[in-house]
């Protein structure tokens, strides 16, 4: 999750033409700057992970909530939105059970994360 900003930063470097402003016309120099920037960002991430209290608990809570939403809730909801009128009651029930399982997982994760952080 936190390492995705490395890719976003590369796009921002291209967008703002940072390489031209730093006079990096050579591809080799451009590669060195990009790698140095990525290394610094990874070191910042490692420092935050080691120094922040309860970082593991917070990341576990965020991961549990978002993973359950992405895996169990959103795909069946999207499928029901697209194909809902064409499904018979058995498939509709199946997808609703999956959505309920995902929502139960989200509630359980939020409950555990709350008491783990307190």
Overall average pLDDT of the 39-54 stretch:
79
pTM listed for this prediction:
0.57
Distances (CA, A) of 16 to 12, 39, 115: 6, 20, 44
Residues 6+ away with beta carbon under 8 Å from 39: none
Reported as a pLDDT band with limits 50, 70 and 90, residue 67 is confident
Distance from C-alpha of 109 to C-alpha of 62, rounded to nearest angstrom: 9
Distance from C-alpha of 5 to C-alpha of 3, rounded to nearest angstrom: 5
């Amino acid at each position: 999750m936190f390492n995705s900003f490395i890719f976003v930063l590369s796009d921002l470097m291209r967008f703002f033409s940072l390489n031209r402003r730093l006079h990096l016309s050579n591809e080799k120099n451009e590669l060195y700057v990009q790698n140095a920037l990525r290394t610094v960002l990874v070191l910042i991430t490692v420092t935050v992970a080691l120094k922040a209290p309860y970082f593991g608990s917070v990341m576990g809570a965020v991961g549990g909530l978002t993973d359950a939403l992405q895996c169990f809730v959103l795909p069946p909801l999207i499928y029901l939105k697209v194909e809902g009128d064409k499904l018979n009651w058995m498939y509709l029930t199946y997808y609703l059970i999956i959505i309920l399982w995902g929502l139960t997982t989200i509630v359980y994760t939020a409950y555990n994360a709350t008491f783990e952080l307190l």
